[in-house]
Structure 1
Amino acid sequence: MPVPSLVIGIAGGTGAGKTTIAHEITSGVDSVTLVPLDNYYADRSDTPMTEREQINYDHPDAFDWKLLREHLLALCEGRTIEMPEYDFSIHNRTDETTTVDPGDVVMVEGILTLHDEQVCELLDINLYVETDADVRIIRRIRRDVIERGRELDGVISQYLSTVKPMHEQFVEPIKKEADLIIPEGANDTAVGLLREQVHGVVDGDERPF
């Protein structure tokens, strides 16, 4: 199986629009492998539900970085992985995995994608999506209440107690690891240039900057 032409990491706060940017800059690429960082929350099968509900999921320690490194390295080498599936309603992985093959572009996307040094070493391009905090919290509320079935009061409480302080302590500082900082929804030029760069590398005409 061929190795990917390009490996991209996208970080940014909750609700920043990372997934949207990922789709926009790879639009038209025949084969894209998306690796959501959320799928690599640590396995909590031995932890009671009441305790899982209290875990700070916006802290770097919430993630299984070892497994992510192993899987990303495998994809970079052209090998297939069994990616874990995560269920937000139970705050844990499911018993199912998804078979994932390396595409022309491998994209790792999540709030803390650029936090781990060894992960960053495997990336060709590091991106950070920056979006106003008011926009991000509104998106977070809509997503968690509508898509994940959570109570509004609980979402707001979690945002104030962990999401916001963790963003300021861990997410915001990793901008320094980014090759480019993209203002979400406000920079079509940057997205267009990145799309050209991605296609140029995939087509073999350019090297990643």
Structure 2
Amino acid sequence: MNHSSGSTIKPVVLGVGGCSGSGKTTLARELAAQLDAVLFPLDFYYRDLAHLSREERDHYNFDHPESLEHDLIVQHVEQLRQNKSIDRPNYDFNTHSRVKDVTDHLEPQRFIIVEGILALHYVNLTPLYDLTVYVDAPHDVCLTRRIYRDTRERGRTEESVREQFETYARPMADEYVLPSRDHADLKVNGTEALDWSIEAVLAELRRRNLLTLA
């Protein structure tokens, strides 16, 4: 079945971007909970690196725009916008490979929240958004949060996280992520209280008459 419960209301699509560790994922998750939205993290769309050696995978540049299968991202966001369901790929961060024959079936909802470091970067993706939000945070804050997350959730050492940050994440952020701020309708501070950022986004949705539920 391609369509959700007979809905003809066009979904509202939010794009939430910002550097890794800026707080964008936390903001997107909380917004998704409050709006009963479909959460669409770009992280599921990393290219499958199963053909590479473990060492090659560990030194792969995951912060470059080409690391994501962006054509499939655009296709899936477009389908959700058209009230069609999708089967989203699954990604294993420990092996840097796509989980074979396992997808997540997503039905469209009134709100769809696309989030990722490059969510506001791709020129064929940004026109699909009804509202774009950039979460700003200094590099040192992002690194501290990355170390905390990756050592606990992804089995990394602090040294490897720091090395990856300096080699890939920081230069790629400077080249691709920070310029995407210019595409944002709204900028929030990732070091301030989460409640303020949420209220700022909801206020902007109200201002644009996008919060009306049918």
TM-score (norm 2): 0.88
Structure 2 equivalent of residue 36 of structure 1: 41
Distance 1:5 1:202, change over 3 A: farther
1:74-153 matches, cutoff 5 A: 74-95=79-100, 96-153=102-159
Compute the displacement of 1:203 (Å): 2.2
Distance 1:83 1:156, change over 3 A: same
Contact 1:27 1:195 in 2 (8 A): no
Among 67, 87, 95, the alignment partner of 2:72 is 67
One-letter code aligned to 1:158: Q
Gaps of at least 5 residues in structure 1 are none
Contact 2:15 2:129 in 1 (8 A): yes
One-letter code aligned to 2:155: G
Q: Quick check: 1:194 aligned with 2:212?
A: no
The RMSD of aligned alpha carbons is 1.9
Contact 1:25 1:198 in 2 (8 A): no
**Matched positions, count:** 204
SS at match of 1:9: strand
Q: Distance in 1 between matches of 2:138 and 2:85?
A: 37
Q: Distance in 2 between matches of 1:134 and 1:79?
A: 41
Q: Quick check: 1:155 aligned with 2:164?
A: no
Contact 2:134 2:187 in 1 (8 A): yes
1:147-187 superposed Cα distances (whole Å, 9 cap, x missing partner): 11012211111111111111111111111111111112426
One-letter code aligned to 2:182: K
Q: Quick check: 1:52 aligned with 2:57?
A: yes
One-letter code aligned to 1:191: I
Contact 1:79 1:101 in 2 (8 A): yes
Gaps of at least 5 residues in structure 2 are none
